[in-house]
């Protein structure tokens, strides 16, 4: 347990504002940060202007999010000039890299605190130091401090993120995550189950288990359980309706896991299973540790065992050395695999990774052309798959008013598809059935039955 009683007055009467870039793990880290801040007296600000403390939680997976952080920091300079006691903290994956931390400190002198991905448990102490000192405090050491027992202020009331494993040991050659998130650390099954039960008691219906690679859950611990065991145990937690998980790495997606998903009552029929490329040559250079044949075989096994399952993926185009032939193989794989959806990225070289040392001669225009071509094929397939759902009835968990049309509400299917529907009654946080009336590429329309 972390005892913050010594800091309990640090935030009294003060307000905080957080900005989060990147993945769900980062979103949850911001929830933990918010939990810590509220436990030492802070309350939420509705805008950065109103805040006494602004915390930016950064992402390093591609260059673009790093550029956005730099842009935001530039803008915050004026705010800091107007409000001298404003504290600005920047942390997470980008600043865990020593070079980026030094850059932020040098380039943005109005930043008070630069922290890394291991600093959360120490945050109150860092804030105290930052409040006393002029100049920037930097804390990017890899402390072994446990994150167990940290409070969290969750953004959702029905859906909650639940980390099960931190870090990554896979070292895909393009990826910075293993460097900025450290080695794989699984939480114990007791800790995960305890948090799941407590969330169920608080009224949460849906949990998403988080990890860079949930499939290696448990393998770093001196005990004999794995991710399939964890899912099976979580499936029995009373009060929960849906359990999701992400991300799955194909290399250690076991038959036991597929079985656990097919048997589980609450475990949703959705795999996010990044394939990255359809070319064995590129997969090898990416250090993904599977072939396209093995991937397609897995897909077959999943679809055979789990009727109605949705499979989504991530793809990278323009990896160093990717020829027209390699790209054609990716296109062909996407046609064969028929993913429900795909996130497609242009390769972005990351300092310190193996791929950054590889020769990258492909012009930007070719990479963009490949992205467009792949996106077009995937959109057609997504629409076809969604159209096959027209006329069917599905279970939804209500998520509230539609962002594009306030007259409509939205909900998600077990297969993680977003459905818009008209309804007079308030269905947020409720489970109910709709008939799918119309399919679009990115979402569905339905009516309550």
Does 204 bind ligand SAH (CB under 6 A)? Our answer is no
The interface mask with ligand SAH, positions 300-339, x = CB under 6 A, is --------------x-x-----------------------
The smaller minimum CB distance to ligand SF4, of residues 266 and 350, is found at 350
Does 170 bind ligand SF4 (CB under 6 A)? Our answer is yes
Q: How many amino acids of this chain bind ligand SAH (CB under 6 A)? A: 17
Give the range of 87-95, 155-163, 345-353, 440-448 binding ligand SAH by CB under 6 A. 345-353
Tell me how far apart the alpha carbons of residues 36 and 363 are, in angstroms, rounded to a whole number.
46
* Cβ–Cβ under 8 Å, residues 282 and 321: yes
Give the range of 184-192, 301-309, 341-349, 402-410 binding ligand SAH by CB under 6 A. 341-349
Residue 413 interaction partner, one of ligand SAH, ligand SF4, none, beta carbon < 5-8 Å per kind: none
Segment 185-214, which members bind ligand SF4 (CB under 6 A)?
212-213
Question: Of residues 181, 249, 412, 414, which one binds ligand SAH by CB under 6 A?
Answer: 249
Segment 274-333, which members bind ligand SF4 (CB under 6 A)?
none
Give the range of 171-179, 291-299, 329-337, 393-401 binding ligand SAH by CB under 6 A. 171-179
Does 87 bind ligand SAH (CB under 6 A)? Our answer is no
- Token look-up 């959109």 returns 379
Question: Of residues 11, 250, 274, 320, which one binds ligand SAH by CB under 6 A?
Answer: 274
Question: Of residues 8, 74, 148, 171, which one binds ligand SF4 by CB under 6 A?
Answer: 171
Q: What are phi and psi of 393, to 5 degrees?
A: -110, 140
Does 175 bind ligand SF4 (CB under 6 A)? Our answer is yes
Give the range of 73-81, 169-177, 264-272, 359-367 binding ligand SF4 by CB under 6 A. 169-177
* Cβ–Cβ under 8 Å, residues 88 and 111: yes
> What does the binding site for ligand SAH look like in residue numbers (CB under 6 A)?
61-62, 174-175, 177, 212-213, 247, 249, 274, 276, 314, 316, 345, 347-348, 350
> What does the binding site for ligand SF4 look like in residue numbers (CB under 6 A)?
168, 170-172, 175, 177-178, 212-213, 249
């Amino acid at each position: 347990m972390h005892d913050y009683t010594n800091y309990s007055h640090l935030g009294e009467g003060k307000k905080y504002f957080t900005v989060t870039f990147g993945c769900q793990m980062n979103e949850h880290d911001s929830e933990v940060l918010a939990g810590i801040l509220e436990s030492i007296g802070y309350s939420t600000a509705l805008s950065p202007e109103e805040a006494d403390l602004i915390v930016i939680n950064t992402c390093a997976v591609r260059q673009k999010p790093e550029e956005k952080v730099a842009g935001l920091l530039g803008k915050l300079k004026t705010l800091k000039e107007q409000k001298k006691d404003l504290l600005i903290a920047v942390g997470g994956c980008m600043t865990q890299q020593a070079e980026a931390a030094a850059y932020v400190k040098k380039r943005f002198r109005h930043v008070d605190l630069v922290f890394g991905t291991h600093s959360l448990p120490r945050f109150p102490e860092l804030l105290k130091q930052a409040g006393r000192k002029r100049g920037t405090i930097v804390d990017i050491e890899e402390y072994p401090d446990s994150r167990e027992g940290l409070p969290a202020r969750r953004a959702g009331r029905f859906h909650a993120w639940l980390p099960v494993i931190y870090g990554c040991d896979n070292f895909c050659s393009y990826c910075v995550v293993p460097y900025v998130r450290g080695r794989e650390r699984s939480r114990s099954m007791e800790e995960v189950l305890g948090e799941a039960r407590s969330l169920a008691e608080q009224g949460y219906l849906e949990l998403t288990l988080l990890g860079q690679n949930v499939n290696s859950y448990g393998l770093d611990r001196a005990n004999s359980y794995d991710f399939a065991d964890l899912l099976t145990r979580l499936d029995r937690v009373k009060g929960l309706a849906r359990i999701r998980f992400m991300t799955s790495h194909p290399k250690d997606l076991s038959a036991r896991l597929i079985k656990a998903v097919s048997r589980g009552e609450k475990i949703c029929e959705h795999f996010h299973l990044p394939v990255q490329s359809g070319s064995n040559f590129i997969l090898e250079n990416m250090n993904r540790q599977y072939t396209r044949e093995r991937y397609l075989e897995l897909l077959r096994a999943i679809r055979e065992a789990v009727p109605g399952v949705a499979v989504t993926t991530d793809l990278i185009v323009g990896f160093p050395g990717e020829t027209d032939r390699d790209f054609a193989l990716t296109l062909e794989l996407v046609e064969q695999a028929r993913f429900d959806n795909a996130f497609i990225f242009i390769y972005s070289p990351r300092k310190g990774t193996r791929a950054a040392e590889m020769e990258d001669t492909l012009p930007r225009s070719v990479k963009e052309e490949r992205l467009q071509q792949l996106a077009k094929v995937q959109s057609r397939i997504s629409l076809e798959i969604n159209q096959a759902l027209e006329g069917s009835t599905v279970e939804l968990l209500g998520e509230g008013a539609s962002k594009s049309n306030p007259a409509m509400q939205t909900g998600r299917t077990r297969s993680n598809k977003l459905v818009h529907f008209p309804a007079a009654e308030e269905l947020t946080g409720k489970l109910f059935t709709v008939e799918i009336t119309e399919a679009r590429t990115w979402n569905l329309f339905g009516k309550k039955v």
